[in-house]
């Protein structure tokens, strides 16, 4: 099967579309529902079911989640309800929606899409993808192989988690100019650059569509590019994961 539903669960919105997993092309409208507040497991599962119905889909579903995910179980909860921790989210979604699910970390899914079809295609060495949204997600690749469930958004910077200073949400909450926010992002990226000596940074998330607004303020030695699929990378990677499990 090549047309598979990919769903990307975020702190503020849940997005989904049908994806041709052989070309990475979205073959349906991209639909979105708000992430319930509070984002309890039962409420989010109901919202995911609503999104599946909107897309009139029946089949295997790939679904990202902003957490450390091992074998479908959430081991953290970044910007979602703490009730997810220790929960088998994959089984919950399967029970509520009535379809087979593959659940994985949101940034890992975005990274796989970008490394397979997008900005990281064919790139060796150390590639770090970062998604800037409600928080900061990360995916790390060495010669194209994923190191899953990294949480670089939670590295400490000035005494707090980096995402509490440099996520896209912080720009809006503090009404920062692009230059002001870019200064925070630059400090964070330079910290990662010093620790990991990457060969390429890929910046994703919704803000990547406006990269021309802030890339000019970044002063890194490392090559830096926007995600090729912008904020759709997670949807595409989720669909790819579901398709791979069906093979």
Handedness of CA 89, 135, 129, 141 (dihedral sign): negative
- Mean predicted confidence (pLDDT) in 163-175: 98
**Contact present, 162 and 155 (Cβ < 8 Å):** yes
Does 58 lie in the same domain as 23? Answer: yes
Instruction: DSSP letter for 98, please.
Output: -
Does 241 lie in the same domain as 149? Answer: no
**Contact present, 23 and 6 (Cβ < 8 Å):** no
- The string of pLDDT tens digits covering residues 185-220 is 999 999 999 999 999 999 999 999 999 999 999 999
CA atoms of 243 and 102, how far apart (whole Å): 9
Does 9 lie in the same domain as 98? Answer: yes
Does 148 lie in the same domain as 213? Answer: yes
**Contact present, 100 and 61 (Cβ < 8 Å):** yes
Question: What is the rounded average pLDDT for all residues in the chain?
Answer: 97
Does 223 lie in the same domain as 237? Answer: no
Question: Residue 234, exposed/middle/buried by CB under 10 A (0-12, 13-18, 19+)?
Answer: buried
**Contact present, 200 and 193 (Cβ < 8 Å):** no
Does 196 lie in the same domain as 240? Answer: no
- Mean predicted confidence (pLDDT) in 66-86: 96
Q: What is the pLDDT of residue 158?
A: 95
- The string of pLDDT tens digits covering residues 27-74 is 999 999 999 999 999 999 999 999 999 999 999 999 999 999 999 999
CATH number at residue 14: 3.30.420.40
For residue 247, name the pLDDT band (cuts at 50, 70, 90): confident
Range of the domain at 241: 3-108+233-246
Does 137 lie in the same domain as 50? Answer: no
Does 103 lie in the same domain as 180? Answer: no
């Amino acid at each position: 099967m090549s047309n598979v539903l990919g769903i990307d669960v975020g702190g503020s919105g849940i997005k989904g579309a049908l994806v041709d997993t052989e070309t990475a092309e979205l073959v349906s409208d991209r639909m979105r529902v708000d992430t319930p507040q509070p984002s309890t497991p039962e409420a989010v599962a109901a919202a995911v079911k609503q999104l599946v119905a909107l897309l009139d889909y029946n089949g295997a579903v790939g679904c990202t989640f902003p957490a450390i995910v091992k074998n479908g179980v959430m081991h953290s909860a970044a910007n979602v309800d703490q009730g997810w921790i220790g929960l088998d989210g994959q089984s919950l979604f399967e029970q509520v929606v009535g379809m087979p699910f593959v659940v994985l970390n949101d940034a890992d899914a975005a990274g796989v899409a970008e490394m397979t079809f997008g900005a990281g295609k064919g790139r060796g060495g150390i590639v770090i993808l970062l998604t800037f949204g409600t928080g900061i997600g990360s995916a790390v690749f060495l010669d194209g192989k994923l190191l899953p469930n990294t949480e670089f958004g939670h590295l400490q910077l000035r005494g707090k988690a980096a995402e509490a200073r440099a996520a896209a949400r912080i720009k809006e909450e503090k009404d920062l100019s692009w230059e002001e926010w870019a200064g925070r992002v630059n400090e964070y990226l330079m910290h990662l650059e010093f620790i990991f000596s990457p060969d390429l940074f890929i910046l994703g998330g919704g803000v990547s569509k406006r990269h021309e607004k802030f890339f000019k303020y970044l002063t890194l030695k490392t090559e830096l590019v926007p995600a090729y699929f912008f904020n759709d990378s997670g949807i595409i990677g989720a669909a790819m994961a579901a398709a791979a499990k069906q093979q």
